Amino acid sequence: MAESRNILIVGSGGREHALGWKILESPQAKKLFFAPGNGGTLENVGISSSEIQKLLVFAKQNECFTIVGPEIPLANGIVDSFNREGLDILGPTKSAAMLESSKIFAKKFMTKFNIPTAKFSSFSDPEHAKDYVLKQSNKLVVKADGLASGKGVMVCTNSAEAIDAIDKIMVKKEFGKSGNSIIIEDKLIGNECSFIALCDGETIIPMASSQDYKRLLDNDKGPNTGGMGSLSPTPLIDKELYKNIIELIMKPTVRGMNQCGIPFRGFLYAGIMIEENTKKPYVLEFNARMGDPECQPIMLRLQSDLLEYLVAAAKGELNTMPSFNWKNQFAVCVVMASRGYPSSYHKGNLIKGADQDFGSNIVLFHAATTRDRMNRLKANGGRVLGVTALGGTVKDAINNAYDVVKRISWGTNHMFYRADIARKFAHVDKEALFFL
């Protein structure tokens, strides 16, 4: 039997809660720590995800295998620091994480290795960017080069909106240094989905297909957010498209990173646009970590021992592992958020209805929650809870999730959620779907 080990999960969101929830099922999991964790996680450590040296000391003292959830510590080189100390950790190095931390790097990388993506240009001068916009006839997307918590992408319907986006990012500095440079790309028309694979530098093992709902409001209206809900598997991906994504995008990316001397280990996330006319997959963006909120339904459907795979990936031994096993069910995650997100919102409201047993098909994954001295649960940020439910059909999973959503509240003036997560696919016949 494999040796049991202590686990440190870095992060405080729903993704980290979901990873920990699944890892605790493993016979290899000894003790599980979260840094800093949230109101739904146990064994929280008072170290933020940005305090790399403190995390390193804790992991060393407690002999932990470390899993990194969010992008910022990866972009800041947490894996490099742990590697120098000989500590076990899963995640890409700072150089490999540039697939996410620099959209310009990612776009140039994709061009070099013929990975399908939209036509683009990059700019470090706002006036040059505006001049470019005025010469274009296509609809455009303006993106901050650096990390912006999923909010640095602005889809524009005309040149005036594109120029306004340039001002917000480069002049007003709404995303700080992340907006020192931008890319402007042609807008692709089609359907978005998420494709995530576990990588060890050479081998990839795909996770279940999924999709998230980035826009704030129903019918995909409003600004981009970190994600207002998700579905797995997505009916958008059939057998042929699944194969194309692996052969045209995932494998060339892993090979290309190796050729660049920066092998990628960890969760490789490709945000995919399935082009409307050709049904060809294009990469909108890469993330260098597991998606949030895609992680929640993926973990709920996963039957395999996740920790066993994560350890194999960290050791470069994924080639010894079989494909993942998945429950033959759909899973839907509905994010309950603080009203005002992604801008300003109130913190500290008492959450009612969350501390109860919702049954085996429902898991409430915590994100921006905290507990006071009386152990009362309170809202502590933008995306607060992820109600995640299984169902034999998409419709069943939707109904199961929203039944629970309606039982939780921290005041109608202080919370909101989208009412349309996955409803577009409520009619899908499960037997006709390629299940992953």
Average pLDDT, integer, range 51-80: 98
Q: 376 in a domain, yes or no?
A: yes
Contact between 68 and 292 under an 8 Å Cβ cutoff? The reply is no
Mean pLDDT of 197-213: 97
Confidence of residue 3 (pLDDT cuts 50, 70, 90): confident
Predicted confidence band at 434 (pLDDT cuts at 50, 70, 90)? low
The average pLDDT across 181-195 equals 95
Do residues 416 and 347 both lie within one domain? yes
Task: Tell me whether strands 64-68 and 89-90 are parallel, antiparallel or unpaired.
Answer: parallel
φ and ψ at 367, to 5 degrees? -130, -95
Q: Is 2 inside any structural domain?
A: no
Residue 62 sits in the same domain as residue 124: no
**Tens-place pLDDT, residues 271-286:** 999 999 899 999 999 9
Regarding whether 406 and 350 lie in a shared domain, the answer is yes
Regarding whether 138 and 60 lie in a shared domain, the answer is no
Structural domain that includes position 29: 7-93
Residue 433: pLDDT band (50, 70, 90) is: low
Domain finish residue from 186, 210, 241: 186
CATH code of the domain in which 371 resides = 3.90.600.10
172 close to 245: Cβ distance less than 8 angstroms: no
Statement to judge: residues 172 and 138 lie in one domain: yes
Residues 27 and 77 in one domain: yes
Examine the pLDDT at 42 and tell me if it is beyond 90.
Answer: yes
Region 366-379 average pLDDT: 96
How far is Cα of residue 326 from the mean position of the Cα atoms in its chain?
A: 19
In a domain, 291, yes or no: no
pLDDT at 432: 55
Considering the domain architecture, whether residues 46 and 83 belong to the same structural domain is answered as: yes
Residue bearing tokens 């990612």? 106
The CATH number of the domain holding residue 126 is: 3.30.1490.20
Residues forming beta bridges with residue 196, ordered by sequence position: 269
Q: How many domains does the chain have?
A: 3
Q: Lowest-confidence range among 147-156, 315-324, 336-345?
A: 147-156
Kindly report the pTM of this predicted structure.
Answer: 0.95
Residue 99 falls inside a structural domain: no
* pLDDT (tens digit per residue) in 158-177: 999 999 999 999 999 999 99
Asked if residue 346 and residue 409 are part of one domain, the reply reads: yes
pLDDT at 1: 47
Of the residues 59, 93, 127, which one is the last residue of a structural domain? 93
Q: What is the pLDDT of residues 287-308, one digit of tens each?
A: 999 999 999 999 999 999 999 9
Residue 217 lies in a domain: no
Could you tell me if residue 387 is inside a domain? yes
Q: Which of 141, 165, 186 delimits the end of a domain?
A: 186
Query: Quick one: how far is CA 293 from the chain centroid?
Result: 6
125 in the same domain as 74? no
The DSSP-derived string for 6-32 is EEEEEE-SHHHHHHHHHHTTSTTEEEE
pLDDT of residue 284: 96
**Does residue 417 belong to any structural domain of this protein?**
yes
- Average the pLDDT over 326-335 and give the result: 96
Looking at the fold, whether 333 and 393 belong to one and the same domain comes out as yes
- pLDDT band of residue 2 (cuts 50, 70, 90) is low
Q: Give pLDDT, residue 84.
A: 98
CATH number at residue 59: 3.40.50.20
pLDDT of 430 strictly over 80: no
* Domain-located, residue 147: yes
Condensed to tens digits (0 to 9), the pLDDT of residues 85-121 reads 999 999 999 999 999 999 999 999 999 999 999 999 9
**Taking residues 193-214, what's their average pLDDT?**
96
